Structure 1
Amino acid sequence: MSQDRIYTIETLQDNLHKSRFQQNGKEFTELEGGIIIGFSKYFAGIDVYAPDQNGVYDYIGDINFSLENFNTKISIHSQGINNICLNNGKPFEVKIDNRSLSNISIDVENKKAKVVIDKSNSLFDF
């Protein structure tokens, strides 16, 4: 039986957690529900970590962002993607060759995705 190497990481909330990964220049923050995300100003992505039954955090996937021809590309990677839910609808299982999906790419048309704030009724418009 192999022995896992356990590291200690510190989150921005000053909490220490056991993990199977090293910090390596990333900042970590805790989200609701026990999830920890890791990020770096040198990398346009977010790593996601979740605890196992012993409270030791493991890497479970990542989300990466890139800008191509004024459009944003969002890439999602995890070895355990079992299903996808679109527009808050019913989840559907995704398997390729009887294996879980591991990579999803989403192209976002920035012009369509922009939220325009209507300031016509703002009290503080000058």
Structure 2
Amino acid sequence: METLDKAHTIQEGVKKFLNGIVDLHFREDTPGGCLVVLSVLEREQHEAETVMMLEHIVEHMQKTLQSRIKQAQDAGQLSGEIKARRVSTSIVAAATGIMVMGKAGFSRTSLRTVSDTICSLLSPEQT
């Protein structure tokens, strides 16, 4: 979630976060994407301790995004009307969906389109 901390705006941070997941899927040294996300998708195959750890990672992503959205609202980058928890949960769902789509053979361009669409929902014109 360091990407969000380094970004100047929430929109930039979310775009880099989601595009980083797309890029991770297509990198030669990480074929098939992020092991954590893939493990979450197959959680019934893991021991209880591993499942709890995976759930904690996903929950941390959601809470970090929620916090950054609230910060963006406080800074006037986003409308206070946006429900930070709902939007952050949707971003995490999109991140997971990008990984699933990657495994299903969707192109990098298609996955970037998902990322761009999610980011457009955070644009000041939409808020």
TM-score (norm 2): 0.23
Task: Look at both structures and tell me which one has the larger radius of gyration over its CA atoms.
Answer: 1
Point out which structure has higher relative CO (alpha carbons under 8 A, 6+ apart): 2
Higher strand fraction (1 or 2): 1
Higher helix fraction (1 or 2): 2
